[in-house]
Amino acid sequence: MTTCLAIRHVAFEDLGTLGTVLDERGVAVRMIEAGADDIAALDPLAPDLVVVLGGPIGATEDYLYPFLADEARLLTARLAAGRPVLGFCLGAQLMARALGARVVANPAGKEIGWSELTLTEAGRASALAGLAGLPVLHWHGDTFELPDGATLLASTAITPNQAFSWGPAALALQFHPEVGARGLERWLIGHAGELASGGGGGAVALRQANWLHAPGLEAAAGILFRIWLDANLPPAEAAVQRRRSVV
């Protein structure tokens, strides 16, 4: 069976639409809880896919969250081996960190809410092509520099580096295509403090935008993930044969 290791930082930022697509493909998902499970003990090369999800902490705040260093080490080994990796928001920032790029506070401030991406030529030729002209969800205060050797795929006006690929099997997305329409109310609860201070225009405004845009993103993201997984995950039997050859 094809396997996926997913690292989650807060319960409400889960696999969402990606989880549905993985289930369709019969992929066995193991969910690791950052801060509770021992990330340092994981074999970074064993799973067929590693997914690192988002969270409201900084990718370099090891002094507050020591497990971030373990995630960075896992990603460094994984990326060096060219094994499939997918990162969302904090996960994308950790990928950039693992590749030697800086992760810093966004000079333009927080980006919370729905807006369209500007795809590069490479982005229009990638799995992200179906997101052209479609508002996607942004929820971040930090950003990353583009790692050496990475290909920029998308930008927004206040966050020039929104997505990059690194080789054929690593995709880092600062925005959140994974969110499903039904799950977004949990985001409003989980980020209540930030929204109460005016982030994203407040919970009511953001909820209305969610109702308007989330169904379209969910449909387009399903296509994005199917295209990317088709290119990067082996069929189940091929994965079994590869693991047997290692043993």
* 4 included as an active-site residue: no
Q: Please measure the distance between the N-terminal and C-terminal CA atoms of the chain and give it in whole angstroms.
A: 15
Question: Nearest 5°: phi and psi at 4?
Answer: -130, 130
Exactly one of 4, 13, 89, 213 is catalytic; which is it? 89
Q: What are phi and psi of 5, to 5 degrees?
A: -105, 120
Whole-number Cα distances in Å, 26 to 21, 53, 171, 190, 231: 9, 20, 21, 30, 16
Nearest Cα neighbor of 1 from 246, 247, 243, 245 is: 243
Catalytic site includes residue 140: no
From the list 138, 178, 191, 218, the catalytic residue is 178
Query: Is 89 in the active site?
Result: yes
Q: Which parts of 89-183 fold into alpha helices (H)?
A: 90-98, 121-124
Which one of 9, 138, 140, 176 is the catalytic residue?
176
Active site residues: 89, 176, 178
